A and B are shown apart, each in its own frame.
Chain A
Amino acid sequence: MEIVVEIFDSSLRNARIEKLDVTELRIGRAWNSDILVTDPDVDAEHLLVQLTEDSESFTLCDLQSTNGSRHNKKKFDGQTQAGFGDLIQLGRTRLKIHRLHDPVAVTKQRSFLDNQLVQLHRPLIALALGASAIVLQLLDMYLSSSRDLEWHSVLTSLIGMTTGLAVFALVIAGLGKLFRNEFVYWPNLGLAASAIILQKLLAVVAAWISFNALSEGLDEFISTLIIATILTLWLIPGLHLCTPLKPWIRNTITAAVVSATVVTSYILPSFRDNPWQHNQPQLVTGSMPASLLLAPEVSREEYLELITGTFADADELAVKAREENLENLENLGSER
């Protein structure tokens, strides 16, 4: 009997089509499979499809695969009955089997995660997010000028979040454009890993913008928790379907990057230094490092004692600067 097999890419938008005239087909990574799938999560001999005699349906037979098979998103062991047009999933590969003469309709059925990923490919989403950030900012400026403070703190947080998401979406959109094909599947482990790290780091930068805005309105500790949660939620679906990495490796990378960022922000005060204001210190009421929340309060005498330490630090910087100046002078001299 003549059938058509649609094999989808991760976005469920593009499919490879194979036309066959068989009653039985083997799917797997083995060279002699009827449908050859290059997916590391698929076994060499993964799934056997047998058409019934009346050609009205077929039987799916999982060949004791490592990662299992799904029929309409439901995992099954051994055998199960399936109809034409049903969604079949092996490892991360999804496919559909149609009769050649059935009316053609590429289903738009997508999983939630796929939707997320697909949507983020669209620059329009990023632009819309960016535009709403601007609108919110204008609204906030208007309300602040009329001293309507009730909304101000809520809005500053929203602005930060929207801007952060807009940047994130732009990055993803950019990546999607850049790797239109490669995005689907990276067989190279190193490339995939670096893509993930790059994506996470860019997302961290985006989240950092949100963080700063959020921390204006909330205590830093709480806002960090919020951001960490957002990051985790946002990053894990990230390149989910596009890499050959095991989920636990992906999650470990994500967790490591997220926690490194959060920790760095407290351990290194310089992370918060504004490079555009070299000579302007960051003395802002209410913005104490969260580490100090847990530190004991110091007495007036202890504080004065601590202050004397800053003079020693400043002196050290001055000595270093003087030495550099001398060196520069000597270099100038020798050049002449």
Chain B
Amino acid sequence: MDLKKLRVTLLAMLSVVLVTGTAISQESAGQPPEQIRSRLSQLYDQVYQIQIIESSTQNKSSLGSGFQISADGLVITNYHVVSGLVFEPSHHKILYVDQNDNEGELELIRFDAVNDLALLRKTELSEDEQYLNLARQTPELGDSVYSLGNPRNVGMLMVSGAYNGLSDYSFAGRILFSGSLNPGMSGGPAVNASGEVIGVNVSTAGSQLSFLVPVTKIEHLLAQASDPWQPDNYMGEIAAQVKAFQADYFDQLLAPEWTPKDLGEQALVTGELGLDTSCWGNSNENDQDAKFRSLSLTCSNSNHIFLSGNFNTGVLHYSYSYREARELNPLQFHELTGGLTFYPDNRATDDEVTKYSCEQQYLVPSQEEQGHYIQAGFCTRAYINMEGLYDVLFYRHSANSSRSLMSHFTLAGVSMETAMEFTGRFLESASWK
């Protein structure tokens, strides 16, 4: 299906590679001036390599960076660095290794899956604990930012770049950093010229395009540092965080009227919904030999919440496709339009989600759709360990022997209420002119 291919390409363009994943390694853009460099190199002692150790093999199952932020041993890293431990607390432990190869164990206090942060604490403290200071002020656009971390096993690395403000691309709020983060730098600090933490390394979307979690997101974790979570409630906490985030997100998404937009002369559809959604169009209008006419619009958000290596959520994807038979006979046209397959747009394993339960029906045609048959299909799967969260996917296909209008969406990690409200709205979002 060309539509499916298109979607794959778009997703590939969109996907933000987490820094623990693969990323293109490049020389950093510039070197910091001498005095800054000497100041920053003093920070190296407070930046750690964070290792997640799998208990049965006693080997590391994931690797990242982290940094100390208090005298009583609090350490910040990314949630995605420690997600292995969150999902299987009894099989993992966390170690830190510092610049001088000193090792120690860390315990997980709290985490924030939506903002990709985790708060850890050293189980044993030395007499003289050094830590990094958090910046009180947000940097100005263009200010130099130095990102520190321990990529792979090559040792400490400093990457310099500029502060580019908060990205429009992310609803959760991420700093756009024009430096190139490398695998293993996840969870490391990004500091200003005076060595204060302004953000946490999190992900990269290209060689010189990286994202940082703003330091302000650390504060609410710090405020609760004295009240650690129990491992058997980790899943409940993730569920609560995703629910709260999604409630806020969809409140804003569904608040305004959705304005219809032309798709060819025949159909009206809904385009970008604001926030972090963006759409791409495609058609075969320039293809003289095409035996049918095809126009499509594919939209998605960039709000992908990482939960574990093979489980993510927060994805919204929707698309419209209009087709006209031209030289195809009804049987051929039926075959062309009757083979569109829909898949969920987030990843999840059998352990985390149920099978889909589906409902397919023919719908009563509206005034404009007389002479068409309308099929609608809806599937939902529940999150096994996070009660009240679902993935849903839906299509509505209105067609006669020569024209077809298909609309489709998938939502990941939503409550039933959100799913129903979105579906109700979406059912109306595509119509014939």
Q: B342: which A residues are within 8 A, CB to CB?
A: 281, 283-284
Q: Is residue B222 within 8 Å, beta carbon to beta carbon, of the partner chain? A: no
Are B344 and A150 neighbours in the complex by a CB distance under 8 Å? no
Q: Is residue A287 within 8 Å, beta carbon to beta carbon, of the partner chain? A: yes
Q: A156: which B residues are within 8 A, CB to CB?
A: 335
Are A303 and B390 neighbours in the complex by a CB distance under 8 Å? no
Min CB–CB distance A283 → chain B (angstroms):
4
Q: Is residue B368 within 8 Å, beta carbon to beta carbon, of the partner chain? A: no
Are B358 and A149 neighbours in the complex by a CB distance under 8 Å? no
Are B379 and A281 neighbours in the complex by a CB distance under 8 Å? yes
Q: Is residue B375 within 8 Å, beta carbon to beta carbon, of the partner chain? A: yes
- Considering only residues 412-428 of chain B, those with a C-beta below 8 Å from chain A are 416, 419-420, 423-424, 427
Q: Is residue B205 within 8 Å, beta carbon to beta carbon, of the partner chain? A: no
Q: In whole angstroms, what is the CA distance A283 to B408 when docked? A: 11
Q: Is residue B140 within 8 Å, beta carbon to beta carbon, of the partner chain? A: no
Among A172-180, A188-196, A251-259, A294-302, the stretch that binds chain B is A294-302
Interface centre among A281, A284, A309 (most CB of B within 10 A): A281
A281-B379, A289-B360, A298-B364 given; A216·B335 CB < 8 A: yes
Q: A233: which B residues are within 8 A, CB to CB?
A: none
Min CB–CB distance A262 → chain B (angstroms):
20
Q: Is residue B233 within 8 Å, beta carbon to beta carbon, of the partner chain? A: no
Q: Is residue B348 within 8 Å, beta carbon to beta carbon, of the partner chain? A: yes
Are A317 and B363 neighbours in the complex by a CB distance under 8 Å? no
Are B362 and A300 neighbours in the complex by a CB distance under 8 Å? no
Q: In whole angstroms, what is the CA distance A300 to B425 when docked? A: 11
Are A218 and B331 neighbours in the complex by a CB distance under 8 Å? yes
State the interface size on chain A (CB cutoff 8 A). Answer: 44
Q: A279: which B residues are within 8 A, CB to CB?
A: 344, 348-350, 353, 355-356, 381
Min CB–CB distance A148 → chain B (angstroms):
8
Q: Is residue A99 within 8 Å, beta carbon to beta carbon, of the partner chain? A: no
Q: Which applies to chain A's interface (DSSP): helix, strand, loop or mixed?
A: helix
Are A308 and B362 neighbours in the complex by a CB distance under 8 Å? no
Q: Which residue of B lies closest to A269 (CB)?
A: B358
Q: In whole angstroms, what is the CA distance A311 to B338 when docked? A: 26
Are B355 and A283 neighbours in the complex by a CB distance under 8 Å? no
Among A39-47, A112-120, A241-249, A318-326, the stretch that binds chain B is A318-326
Min CB–CB distance A321 → chain B (angstroms):
5
A153-B335, A307-B420 given; A283·B393 CB < 8 A: yes
- Taking Cβ atoms with an 8 Å cutoff, the residues of B that contact A are 289-292, 328, 331-332, 334-344, 348-350, 353-365, 374-385, 387, 390, 393, 395, 397, 406, 416, 419-420, 423-424, 427
29 contacts between A and B (CB under 8 A): A147-B291, A153-B332, A156-B335, A216-B335, A217-B335, A278-B355, A284-B339, A285-B340, A285-B377, A285-B395, A286-B375, A287-B338, A297-B362, A299-B364, A300-B363, A303-B359, A303-B427, A304-B420, A304-B423, A307-B380, A310-B357, A310-B359, A310-B378, A314-B356, A317-B354, A317-B357, A318-B382, A318-B383, A325-B384
- Taking Cβ atoms with an 8 Å cutoff, the residues of A that contact B are 147, 149-150, 152-153, 156, 216-219, 278-289, 292, 295, 297-300, 303-304, 306-311, 313-315, 317-318, 321-322, 325
